[in-house]
């Protein structure tokens, strides 16, 4: 499967689901089952490559602002959600994460968990239960420049404004116990 074929499937699923992530997962499952195991493995390889390509500090900062925080697991979910929105959205967000302030990006579903697992599920079922290995090692660290949690809103002020994100300086836990 070529990269163009991969994106064609992703965009069809996005369009057919009207952006609903549960429906995307169901539709992707149906569409992948129409393919051979080899094609599903190739689709899975492309999704992993896109996940790795989007593994940047800059995009993580945007996910952090949109979600009001973002763990490493949530960032994986964020990247999958972004991929599920299609090639143009993915490419623009990678090039300029603040661009996400220009679109209607659903903060509640920004860290949707599940889309990235659909190819694995279909692969396992088509292969008779065999779990196939990951195609390449995931990068150990995000690329780009690391950011400071206390200043993340300064990186992308348009996103911070749109999602009403403000840095809150937390007190040490023991200060909550003082009268």
Evaluate if residue 82 carries a pLDDT over 90: yes
pLDDT at res. 130? 78
Structural domain spans, the chain: 3-132+143-166
> By the 8 A CB rule, do 60 and 20 touch?
no
Q: How does pLDDT run across 35-72, given as a tens digit for each residue? A: 999 999 999 999 999 999 999 999 999 999 999 889 99
**What is the pTM for the complete model shown?**
0.87
Helix (H, G, I), strand (E, B) or coil at 139: coil
* Separation of alpha carbons 29 and 109, rounded Å: 19
> By the 8 A CB rule, do 112 and 80 touch?
yes
> By the 8 A CB rule, do 98 and 159 touch?
yes
Q: How does pLDDT run across 84-134, given as a tens digit for each residue? A: 999 999 999 999 999 999 988 777 778 899 999 999 999 999 998 877 666
User: At 58, phi and psi to the nearest 5?
Assistant: -65, -45
């Amino acid at each position: 499967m070529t990269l163009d074929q991969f994106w064609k499937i992703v965009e069809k699923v996005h369009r057919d689901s009207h952006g609903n992530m549960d429906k995307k997962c169901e539709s992707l499952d149906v569409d992948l089952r129409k393919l051979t195991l080899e094609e599903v493995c190739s689709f899975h390889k492309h999704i992993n490559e896109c996940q790795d390509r989007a593994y940047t500090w800059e995009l993580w900062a945007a996910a952090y602002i949109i979600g009001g925080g973002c763990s490493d697991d949530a960032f994986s979910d964020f990247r999958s959600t972004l991929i599920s929105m299609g090639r143009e959205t993915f490419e623009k967000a990678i090039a300029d994460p603040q661009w996400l302030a220009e679109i209607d990006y659903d903060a509640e579903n920004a860290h949707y968990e599940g889309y990235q697992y659909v190819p694995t599920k279909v692969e396992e079922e088509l292969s008779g239960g065999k779990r196939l290995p990951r195609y390449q090692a995931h990068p150990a660290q995000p690329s780009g420049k690391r950011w400071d949690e206390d200043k993340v809103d300064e990186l992308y002020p348009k996103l911070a404004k749109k999602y009403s994100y403000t840095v809150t300086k937390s007190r040490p836990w023991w200060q909550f116990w003082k009268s």
